[in-house]
Amino acid sequence: MNIKPSEDQGKVTTISGTRDAALPTFRLKKILVPVDFSGCSKKALQYSIALARQFGAELTLLHVVQPYPPMPEMGPIDAESVQDAHEELAAFQRTIGDAANSKTMVRTGAPHVEIIDTAKEEDIDLIVISTHGRTGLEHVLLGSTAEKVVRHAVCPVLTVREHEREFIVQGTAQV
């Protein structure tokens, strides 16, 4: 199967065999990248930059600040956490440079819910999310944000593990 750029920016046409019969095209204009500032989310950002460059898509970097459990005399959200998130997202965004158009968002709540809601609200075509690959008791206790997003997202989800085979071609942006 061959893949060639479509006349419409952000789309590709696939050609099967020697026939010139075009198959359906992929529309990829908006990519959501949830980040938790870990090494694994930096790797997901690398993948999303490569996809954004190839399709001419816009990247939305999202960080979700989880509220603290309610406690007397303490607010449910630490204002410093939100400010720190904005600063760290700005640093992530600078690594994108001119490779793709991008914007950042900080939301508060349960990460999987906020990621799914953002994808709906922003009409996202693809979510590129990192997964830490927790198993056993750690998975049971902490749950998996990526797994919940995969199960409930309104669009395709590409999961990226920190220790997997690379498929980014040299010369693409590195984070």
CB of 103 within 8 A of CB of 60?
Answer: yes
pLDDT in tens, 75-96: 555 556 778 888 888 888 888 8
| Planar angle of CA 48, 67, 30, nearest 5 degrees | 20
pLDDT in tens, 59-69: 999 999 887 66
Domain hosting residue 55, numbered range: 28-161
In a domain, 40, yes or no: yes
2 sits in which H/E element: strand 2-5
In a domain, 16, yes or no: no
CA distances to 144, 147, 161 from 141, rounded to whole Å, are 9, 14, 20
In a domain, 6, yes or no: no
Number of domains in the chain: 1
pTM for the structure as a whole? 0.75
